[in-house]
């Protein structure tokens, strides 16, 4: 990746609806090279897709929480099974296999405390291998970005 590729990535992370012409104008390039660069970045899976960022509160997902999860068993089969099961839960918007005191960190979006209770009691607790869950509730979003820093 060269400087222009990085600038294209920065621009698209700021506004994925920019046209190729708008990007070309901002970079001082012609339309064809910008088009070809974007296609190459997509083909190489550097650009994995384009999304709309939705205000979670306006779609009744006002409560965000991070759940630190410890498993009882750590065999390869148990880890894979947990990962496959957690992927089926739409309220889990992010899942990380982590090192440290816990095994996984989950980010969930729910409507309210009752919705959180229903999720943990009826969905998460139904998984066999859960040893411990600690929840941290988000009180305020101070910084939120989906952009990956490109230097």
Span 43-76, pLDDT tens digits: 999 999 999 999 999 999 999 999 999 999 999 9
Pick the range with the lowest mean pLDDT from 60-64, 82-86, 96-100, 140-144. 140-144
**Beta partners for 104?**
69, 97
Model confidence at 28, pLDDT cuts 50, 70, 90, reads very high
DSSP single-letter state for residue 126: G
**CATH 1.10.10.10 assigned to 3-43:** yes
Residues of the chain with CATH 1.10.10.10: 3-43
Q: For residue 67, how many other CB atoms are within 10 A of its CB?
A: 20
Q: Are 81 and 73 in contact (CB under 8 A)?
A: no
Structure pTM? 0.88
**CATH 3.40.50.720 assigned to 56-137:** no
């Amino acid at each position: 990746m060269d400087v222009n590729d990085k600038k294209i990535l920065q621009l698209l992370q700021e506004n994925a609806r920019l046209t190729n012409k708008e990007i070309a104008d901002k970079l001082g390039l012609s339309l064809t090279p910008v088009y070809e660069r974007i296609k190459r970045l997509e083909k190489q899976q550097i650009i994995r897709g384009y999304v709309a960022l939705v205000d979670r509160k306006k779609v009744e997902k006002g409560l965000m929480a991070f759940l630190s999860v410890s498993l009882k068993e750590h065999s390869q089969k148990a880890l894979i099974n947990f990962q496959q099961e957690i992927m089926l839960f739409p309220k889990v918007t992010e899942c990380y296999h982590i090192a440290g005191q816990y095994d996984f960190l989950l980010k969930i979006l729910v409507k309210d405390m009752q919705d959180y209770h229903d999720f943990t009691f009826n969905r998460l607790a139904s998984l066999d291998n859960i040893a411990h869950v600690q929840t941290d509730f988000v009180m305020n979003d101070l910084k939120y970005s989906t952009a990956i820093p490109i230097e």
